[in-house]
Structure 1
Amino acid sequence: MNLKTLLIAALMGLGFSQAALAERVQLDKVVATVNDGVVLQSEVNKVISRVKQQAKEQNTQLPSDSTLRIQAIDRLVDQSLLLQLAERMGLEISDAQLDQTLANIASEQGATIADLRKSIEATGESFKAYREEIRQEITISQVRRANVDRRIYINPQEISNLQTILEQQTGQSEEYDIGHILVKVPSKASPEELDDARNRANKVIEFLNDGKDFKRIAIASSSGAKALDGGQLGWMGINEMPSLFAEAVKGKKKDDIIGPLRSGAGFHILKVQDIRGRQVVETTEVRSRHILIKPSIILSEEKARSMLAGFVKDLRAGDAEFADLAKEYSEDPGSALKGGEYDWTDPTTYVPAFRDTLLSLDKNEISEPFRSTFGWHIVQLLDKRVADKTDLAKKNRAHGILYNRKFKEESLRWMSEMREQANIDVFPTE
């Protein structure tokens, strides 16, 4: 007996009239089976309705209804496969984790969960149903990432190669204000004359590092064409400089002294007096420590929160040491043995609840217990600083581009493999 026959038999057993039964089956008929799961017509209709509403708002033209139906069923089949896999993996999204995600969604819109509920219900949709859709989306995202991530490998050379390409693309806009001093070497210089010139160049660098005025030293000791102008070469892009200078200047910071650089003319000393067109990335870094308690079947959400509230009371009263409590109770294996401490870290790498709580604290302040996707925490801000992350940002950008590209490719391959291994039947339209 197939699923459709079972559905009709069940409805008849509940005493539905033939007319009512026909209408019900028409509304909720099975349009596809996915292993032991089903895709219902009402689900397909819901997807199509939302796509049409979005297209109307964005003034976008859509293909035919039959094409939309195929696309909708395709999406729902994938969704069913992923949710089935999540169930086999034992992956569940708790109410607390779901509430935290909803709070983040509302916060991004400058609203509260109550405001979010009102806006959802104003469209005629059930907020309870919306919650469950978000729970499904989180589940699908986590199960996909867990399975696709392990298929991705990015080697350092790939990152380096892409960084070079990106720098060549963006480096055109960078300009440097260069100061130049040339310690001249005769064309047929003896070894002694060469050593003397090198020593004089090193002495010039020593003066400059001691803070001596560049222009004054250039006028006094440079043999370059711009000596009387204080060695000022002016603003130049990388492609406008001699290749010797371009290679040496690349990636340097304002006020860096470079050299001595040897050429046929002698020894060159450069000063990066200013830079424009470069995107400098500065980030706030924090040093912190925390204690994590994970709710479980044995330990309830309220008990975990209450336990941490007791720790906070003892810590503020001076009756306990943070490191001792972390070593004994924290369930974060990465930090517990170190007294709960994290080294200098960009807080944006933390989950939103942890990041936002940490950034709201003053130095040495201990937070109240709060919930993240990992469990219940208390955190103490130990210190804060501003760091130049320009080079790291470039590396991370290259890594991110490669990761996103490979994630899309591997995600498609993995999903295709999932479908090949599944038992999927799509029923034709009657």
Structure 2
Amino acid sequence: MINRLEKYFFVGLIIVCFLLSLLVGFQLDSHYTKVQKNNAKALLTSYCELIEDKLKSVYNYTDQFSGYIQSNPQADIKSTPIYKEIMAKEEVMDIIIKTKEQVKLSGSSAKAGNLDKDYPYRLAVLRKELITYGPIKHDSYDKDILISILPIYHNNELICCVAIILDAQQIIDQLDIDILSQNLDYDYQLWTVSAETGHKLVLATSNEKADYLNVVEESFEMPAKWSLLVKPKTNWGISIWPIVFVGTLMGIFIARLLYLHLISKKEKEELAYFERIDRETQFLNLYGLLEHLQKNLSQNTEMTIFIVETIHAHKIYNMLDVNLRDEWTNNFILTLKKYAKNKTVVARIQESMFAIVYEEYFDEKQILDIQRELEIDIIQSVIIDDTRMTLQPVIKYFHCTQVTNIEKKLLRYKKRFGNNYKQVYLNI
């Protein structure tokens, strides 16, 4: 009941809804991803500050030696309570005191696969500050170690370097990075550059199989750069497919509503059409004729109307053989249809009564010519069961300049013909 263009419209509507929902989904995903990354960046900044503070403050036991050594440069550190207290800590593996003479201030830097063991001390002296070096492997220890080294000065003169050897894994475990995974649903990775190999060294990770490409990263220096990066376990953003599904479903729903509305409209138009059309001839009926004239003509249009009454038409139709009835009817309809052109309207106002409405004024000569043409076209004889039946048209005419007067005049001519006639009233 709908044409191809209308079908394309409904399909296009669904596609447009799909594309719009896809666009909205991408925009929401982009916005939410941006918000997530900003939040993650702020979190990492705070977390890196916390880690750096722990490494430089909580696990910086070298400061406890600084004041003591500055006031007692020649004291035996290993015999002090401070030394015993720090050595008793679980994460402390060793304490090394290197005098000024023992610190080599010249030499090559660390090279991949060939660590200069004096390099951390030299670096601390050059920077004149606490450094945390590692994690590294060392022949003297069976675990990876972190070295906290503090150069101690007196009157701007280097006295010694205090190095605290820490169990690297134990320190990393105590940084509480797992909170990112367990409480905040992030996959994380803490890494630095290995002093031994020059390659990336992963210190801690929540998921070794995770793809750490699209991440948020924050770094701090120890002085080697340590980096902490995170990504949500469910990836950034939101899933756009529920949005696309709902949007497409709404498109289908809207298309369905419009389709039902269009079908309903077409059915009403079709019903209205059949109310105005004679189904057998497809000419206008009286109701359709009057409505057509009312809509398309001004009230003062001059018209010439011919009324054609076909005597014996119904009787001839009933007497014909069934196989010939449709042909005979079609020929009669085609005869009248040739007058339905330009500004001429043909209507069937009763079973055997037809009206031909010319939207112009004809004089007597023109009227006689049309009457003669109609009679010649319509009159015909049919022999049925040795009986000649003649289809004889009775043709009358009248002029009219008021659309509202047509029905009254049709009624008057109908009474003259003597047929049963039901007047159709219009609100005109």
The answer to which structure has the higher helix fraction is 1
The answer to which structure has the higher strand fraction is 2
TM-score bin (small chain): under 0.3
The normalised TM-score by structure 2 is 0.21
Structure with bigger gyration radius? 2
